């Protein structure tokens, strides 16, 4: 028969293997289909759509998900008040936005 020490060590090794298989399964099935995007924090803002609510020439304010954020534009054309913008990146507490060209 197998000694008690060898039995407990084999149980521990099997548990460790199943733990890592479970973590891999979680990433494969639950995380990757969502695109692996951040769901909290400022990095979750990237890719969202906002609207310019104020622009005094030096400071631009964009409303995203009901909150106002300071923003800087990163395109060839500065968006005007009321224009829809796409968030390209986050620098500190400033959003870097680009105007969305409407196909009208």
pLDDT band at 39; cut points 50, 70, 90: low
Is the CB of residue 55 less than 8 Å from the CB of residue 61?
yes
Higher pLDDT, 21 or 3: 21
Report residue 59: phi and psi, to 5°.
-115, 135
DSSP state of 61: E
pLDDT beyond 80 at 64 = yes
Residue 29 has pLDDT above 80, yes or no: no
Run of H or E including 85: strand 84-91
Q: How many CB atoms lie within 10 A of CB 25?
A: 11
pLDDT tens digit sequence for 10-19 = 999 999 999 9
pLDDT at residue 38 above 70? no
pTM: 0.60
Given a cut of 60, whether residue 103 has pLDDT beyond it is: no
């Amino acid at each position: 028969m197998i000694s008690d020490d060898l039995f407990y060590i084999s149980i521990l090794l099997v548990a460790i293997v199943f733990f890592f298989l479970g973590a891999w399964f979680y990433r494969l099935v639950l995380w990757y289909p969502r695109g692996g995007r951040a769901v909290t924090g400022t990095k979750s803002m990237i890719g969202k759509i906002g609207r310019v609510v104020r622009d005094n020439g030096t400071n631009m304010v964009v409303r995203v998900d009901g909150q106002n954020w300071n923003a800087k534009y990163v395109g060839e054309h500065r968006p005007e008040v009321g224009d829809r913008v796409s968030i390209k990146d986050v620098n500190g507490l400033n959003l870097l936005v680009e105007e969305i060209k409407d196909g009208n």
